[in-house]
Amino acid sequence: MNEEDQDRFWMQRALDLARRGIGVSSPNPAVGCVLLDSAGQVAGEGWHEYDRFDHAEVAALKAAGGPIPSSPFAEGVESRAGSRLRGGTAYVTLEPCNHTGRTGPCTEALIAAGLRRVVAATIDPNPAVAGHGLDHLRGAGLDVVLGPCEAEARRLNEGFACWSQHRRPLVLMKVAMTLDGRIAPPPGERPLREPYWITGEASRAAVQTLRWQADAVLTGVDTVLADDPLLTDRSGLRRRRPLLRVVLDSSLRLPLDAKLVASAHDDLVVFTVSTDETRVSALRQRGVRVEVLPAEAGVPGDRSSSLGWEAGVPGDRSSSPGREAGRVPLGKVLDKLGEEGILTLLTETGPRLNTALLTGGLVDRVQLFVSPQLMGSSAVPAFCLIAHPLRMDKVEVERYGDDLALSSLLKDPWPQTRS
């Protein structure tokens, strides 16, 4: 095969390695690396796991020949891998770092190993860092190639890219709905605090995978009142930190006997604007973290804003203390989660919160699971009135049993410049 095809072949292998870091690399990116010797044979492979510290490049170097000297790599000091790798090639899914953080710069490790060539799928998404690692490698005389499998590499680390640029998590909106855009039967036609499944088992298993890939999952209190969900990651796959469960509850209506509360173990946070100390204390005594934020006033003339985000059914004016007092500020919630190193936030919410997130420009990717059934206009819609249509471009389509899954970026979190 020609060099371009070879680069894609080995980058695909590096991406396979990078995927092993899903669930265990956050808040760092998932990165994989393949090292070839001068004869084109695999000399070492590695991927990043946050708790093991080593970046993918260093993990691969260790696999190629044993311990690697600690950074900074002194000039003339060669690892045992160096003699084998001299003149070889490194394939890495993300631009090698050129700075010292928890570990030393990977660029120095690659240079010290005597490599001739480095192939990177994409630049680092941080605008202050992007391209610097590649420039350093070029300055040391290495051939640098950028771009093989770029789209796949960027898809893998969309959350890291969003957080790197904005210090906010990527918001992935998941909606399970019928062909006519309904998410639940008409009010009063289903028991409260029991789940109602729109999609089949295969789709629900795919949602567990989405939870595994995310750092946090968000819902509104009316979803809790209607479904009494656990919102846990039941994929059975390894992760380094628990899935953070987030509830928006402006007036603290979350039942103390809800499954979320009963299962809270440093993994449940409620954002509210309520100053009801009795309710706040009751939740905190049960292991729930309560974050009280300043209320965001409703938009004049916007009836849904004055009701708060949690109203599950358009036109529902069920009374609740504090419902008219204001809404939980969505932007501040994202800022707070970003401060905690949450890279990807999965939302599983009702129509008003779905609509508020979309119209507020806060959704980065949409994932729709569509069931082949019709429920009629009296059933609960997935969205309220959206003033300006939103178009999904470059849609990824998958089939889960009889259901279809449609996924599309609404906002690309990656910088558009290339080094």
Cα separation of 99 and 94, whole Å? 14
Cβ proximity of 89 and 45 under 8 Å: no
Catalytic, out of 3, 4, 45, 57: 57
Token representation of residue 236: 């059975």
Question: Is 57 a catalytic site residue?
Answer: yes
What's the full length of the chain, in residues? 419
Cα separation of 38 and 358, whole Å? 51
Q: Count of CB atoms within 10 A of residue 317's CB?
A: 10
Cα separation of 228 and 262, whole Å? 11
Cα separation of 220 and 353, whole Å? 7
- The SS3 of residue 327 is strand
Cβ neighbors of 137 (< 8 A, separation 6 or more) are 96, 107, 110, 111, 118, 144
Q: Count of CB atoms within 10 A of residue 194's CB?
A: 9
Cα separation of 355 and 383, whole Å? 5
Active site residues: 57
